[in-house]
Amino acid sequence: MAEPTWRERSRQSVDGPERTPHRAMYRAVGLGDEDFRRPIVGVANAAAEVTPCNVHLDALAAAAKHGVREGGATPIEFRTITVSDAIAMGHEGMKGSLISREIIADSVEVVTFAERFDALVAVGGCDKNLPGMLMAAARLNVPTVVVYGGPMLPGRFEGRDVSVQDTFEAVGRHARGAMGDEELARLERAACPGAGTCAGMYTANTMASVVEALGMMLPGGAAIPAVHALRRRSAEDSGRQVVELLRLGVRPRDILTRRAFENAIAVATALGGSTNSVLHILAIAREAGVDLPIDVFNAVSDRTPHLADMKPGGRYHMSDLFMAGGVPRVMRELLDAGVLHGDCLTVTGRTVRENLEAWEAAGPAPASDVVRPFSDPIDRQGSLTILRGNLAPDGAVMKVGPHHRGVFRGPARVFDREEAAFQAVSEGAIRPGDVVVIRYEGPRGGPGMREMLAVTSAIVGALGDQAVALVTDGRFSGATHGPMVGHVAPEAAVGGPIALVEEGDEIVIDVPNRTLSVAVPDEEMAARRARWQAPPPPYRAGALAKYARLFGSAAEGARTAP
Ligand code: FES
């Protein structure tokens, strides 16, 4: 069934005598007559030397192009940007991270729109790549397959597997004298052994798993290590498959349904995935026109146990999940228990259930304790929880686990910037039982919702991961663990209640009741509100000022919607 998508768009740019100039330009790029008779597939490539997450993507883009050609279409590669979340972490540069998601989405959309590509292969690695590319695919609604760069292998240090997470936490131990310069330097050299995304179930690997669960990536594509030969084969298969989707007329919005998003949330929460997945899933759903309120995360978490024992909270890295059967192993457990919607369509042209049956038919999953059976989970509920209350009327996000499912109550230690909180932790001014509040770090206030990994790692390094809670209108890295509440909405910069908290106010994080509150009477909060004044914007020109004006609420994915 060739119509309606087969060459529907590219014929606008290359067919007929009036398109002679266009073909002349393409001939100069290297295309010929046969290429113009085929559909044109854009290959969006986020390759860059700014991060190991993306340093190897050229080879995957080349494999995808080979697959597109074999499938019977013409590939045309173009670039988009990335930033490295780990390298941007802990300083002013992190304000560019969420902005990069919007730039990736806009750039992939605009090139595909302007060149009239018929379909898209999206090749990305670091945290914001796949969410940005999927947002573009949802807007464009041209047949799309996502190719992931894959996780880095863990490094080896003093007899144990380590990743960049260990280096962040080592900074806290080093600051309080529990780790020497020489040991820190040896860890630095061991933690990141080569190409790929940060090795645990942090944001990039969570989002790759989400994309696989949504059905927008070939089965198994999330967990294959960056350096594994299967990675190129999967990229080549993806190129071939996107041409098949063109023939079938299957578009992203046929796949990105409400039920598919519920599947994605179930997988993210069963994996103990990053809180950032809440933000990105909400944003992608809105781009796809799907009604997905933030409270759906609680409903799905209630029926989804935490199954995978993954870093940062657990023991294993993404390469261990790959050896244990990958994301399909988790999906199979959830499908058999009736948690997943097996009838959702995917980029294979088959349903989730059919994909998992094919995966199982390929051979038994190896025995391992990386993924626990549904009947014997790590935790009876999923890991992602939405809190509401007088401190977060529109919602806040917390990653919970067996160790922090109770009530955390303590005095607020209030900071208006991440750096001020980091300094207080480094100087030993934060004590067990405190609730560190970091505000004016929201989508508009930061701008860009900085991730507080440097602070949370310093806290964990200095005091362990249960002693101090943190509440912020910013975000957390996927590598953060402990009682940390982020995405507080409305944010401080627009007058959210978090702006009204004062030093010493009692903050209550009540996980069983899913509330986040400040124990201050309503009349006192009203009086504080009457005195509150919005601070001047931190940037008055350039990209940061522009995006600060455009960002929406974290409770709706912090998109820059028109
Ligand atoms: Fe790219 Fe961690 S910096 S995944």
How buried is residue 432: exposed, middle or buried, by Cβ count under 10 Å (0-12/13-18/19+)? exposed
- Check if the beta carbon of residue 246 is closer than 8 Å to that of residue 39: yes
Q: What is the mean pLDDT of residues 345-368?
A: 93
**For 195-250, how does the pLDDT look when each residue is reduced to its tens digit (9 = 90+)?**
999 999 999 999 999 999 999 999 999 999 999 999 999 999 999 999 999 999 99
How buried is residue 416: exposed, middle or buried, by Cβ count under 10 Å (0-12/13-18/19+)? middle
Q: How far is the CA of 199 from the centre of ligand 1 (A)?
A: 9
Domains of the chain by residue range: 11-153+194-361, 154-193, 384-556
Ligand 1 pocket test target in 197, 274, 280, 318 with most atoms within 8 Å of CB: 197
How buried is residue 353: exposed, middle or buried, by Cβ count under 10 Å (0-12/13-18/19+)? middle
**For 401-416, how does the pLDDT look when each residue is reduced to its tens digit (9 = 90+)?**
877 779 999 999 999 9
Which residue's CA is the nearest one to ligand 1's atom 2?
Answer: 198
Q: What is the mean pLDDT of residues 17-33?
A: 98
Give me the pLDDT at residue 457, please: 85
Give me the pLDDT at residue 3, please: 46
Q: How far is the CA of 226 from the centre of ligand 1 (A)?
A: 13
Residue 479 clears pLDDT 80, i.e. is over it: no
Residue 5 clears pLDDT 80, i.e. is over it: no
- Check if the beta carbon of residue 507 is closer than 8 Å to that of residue 412: yes
Q: How far is the CA of 394 from the centre of ligand 1 (A)?
A: 29
Identify which has the larger pLDDT, 334 or 481: 334
- Check if the beta carbon of residue 370 is closer than 8 Å to that of residue 308: yes
Query: How is 263-282 classified by DSSP, letter by letter?
Result: HHHHHHHHTT--THHHHHHH
**For 101-140, how does the pLDDT look when each residue is reduced to its tens digit (9 = 90+)?**
999 999 999 999 999 999 999 999 999 999 999 999 999 9
Instruction: Report residue 1's pLDDT band, with 50, 70 and 90 as the boundaries.
Output: very low
Q: What is the mean pLDDT of residues 493-522?
A: 97
Phi, psi of 222, rounded to the nearest 5 degrees: -75, -40
Give me the pLDDT at residue 486, please: 97
- Check if the beta carbon of residue 495 is closer than 8 Å to that of residue 394: no
Rounded Cα–Cα distance for residues 263 and 460 (Å): 32
Q: Which fold has domain 384-556?
A: Glucose Oxidase; domain 1 (3.50.30)
**For 55-89, how does the pLDDT look when each residue is reduced to its tens digit (9 = 90+)?**
999 999 999 999 999 999 999 999 999 999 999 99
pTM of the complete model? 0.97
Closest atom of ligand 1 to 85 CA is: 3
> What's the whole-number average pLDDT of the chain?
95
Which residue's CA is the nearest one to ligand 1's atom 1?
Answer: 126
Q: How far is the CA of 378 from the centre of ligand 1 (A)?
A: 26
Closest atom of ligand 1 to 479 CA is: 2
Q: What is the mean pLDDT of residues 434-463?
A: 92
| C-alpha dihedral, 57 to 63 to 68 to 74, nearest 10° | 70
Q: What is the mean pLDDT of residues 291-300?
A: 97
Give me the pLDDT at residue 401, please: 80
Q: Count CB atoms within 10 A of the CB of residue 247.
A: 17
Closest atom of ligand 1 to 87 CA is: 3
**For 377-389, how does the pLDDT look when each residue is reduced to its tens digit (9 = 90+)?**
999 999 999 999 9
Give me the pLDDT at residue 288, please: 98
Residues 6 or more apart in contact with residue 538 via CB below 8 angstroms: 445, 446, 447, 544, 548
Identify which has the larger pLDDT, 173 or 392: 392
Q: Which stretches of 336-493 are assigned E, i.e. beta strand?
A: 384-389, 392-399, 407-415, 435-438, 469-472, 484-489
User: What whole-number percentage of the chain has pLDDT above 90?
Assistant: 89
Give me the pLDDT at residue 463, please: 85
What's the residue count for the chain?
562
Closest atom of ligand 1 to 203 CA is: 4
Q: In DSSP terms, which residues pair with 411 in a beta bridge? A: 506
How buried is residue 512: exposed, middle or buried, by Cβ count under 10 Å (0-12/13-18/19+)? exposed
**For 296-324, how does the pLDDT look when each residue is reduced to its tens digit (9 = 90+)?**
999 999 999 999 999 998 999 999 999 99
Q: Count CB atoms within 10 A of the CB of residue 406.
A: 12
Residue 34 clears pLDDT 60, i.e. is over it: yes
Sign, Cα dihedral of 166, 167, 168, 171: positive
List active site positions: 477
Please give the structure tokens belonging to residue 146: 């996502």
Instruction: Give ∠ CA 142-146-152 in degrees, rounded to 5.
Output: 165
- Alpha-helical runs (H) found in 218-324: 229-248, 252-255, 258-270, 276-287, 296-303, 318-323
Ligand 1 pocket test target in 87, 166, 168, 198 with most atoms within 8 Å of CB: 198
Q: Which stretches of 309-447 are assigned E, i.e. beta strand?
A: 384-389, 392-399, 407-415, 435-438
Q: Count CB atoms within 10 A of the CB of residue 211.
A: 28
Q: Count CB atoms within 10 A of the CB of residue 297.
A: 24
Rounded Cα–Cα distance for residues 477 and 496 (Å): 23
CA distances from 343 to 287, 338, 361 (A): 22, 12, 18
Rounded Cα–Cα distance for residues 395 and 406 (Å): 19
Strands 384-389 and 74-79: unpaired
Closest atom of ligand 1 to 52 CA is: 1
Residue 478 clears pLDDT 90, i.e. is over it: no
Q: Which of 406, 390, 556 is nearest to 487 (CA)?
A: 556
Q: How far is the CA of 198 from the centre of ligand 1 (A)?
A: 5
CA distances from 75 to 31, 127, 246, 540 (A): 10, 25, 13, 41
CA distances from 238 to 39, 76, 345, 389 (A): 16, 15, 16, 44
Q: In DSSP terms, which residues pair with 459 in a beta bridge? A: none
Give me the pLDDT at residue 231, please: 98
CA distances from 438 to 76, 457, 486 (A): 45, 15, 9
Q: How far is the CA of 55 from the centre of ligand 1 (A)?
A: 11
Ligand 1 neighbours, Cβ below 6 Å, are: 51, 53, 84-86, 126-127, 197-198, 202, 204
Residue 2 clears pLDDT 70, i.e. is over it: no
Ligand 1 pocket test target in 87, 89, 94, 126 with most atoms within 8 Å of CB: 126
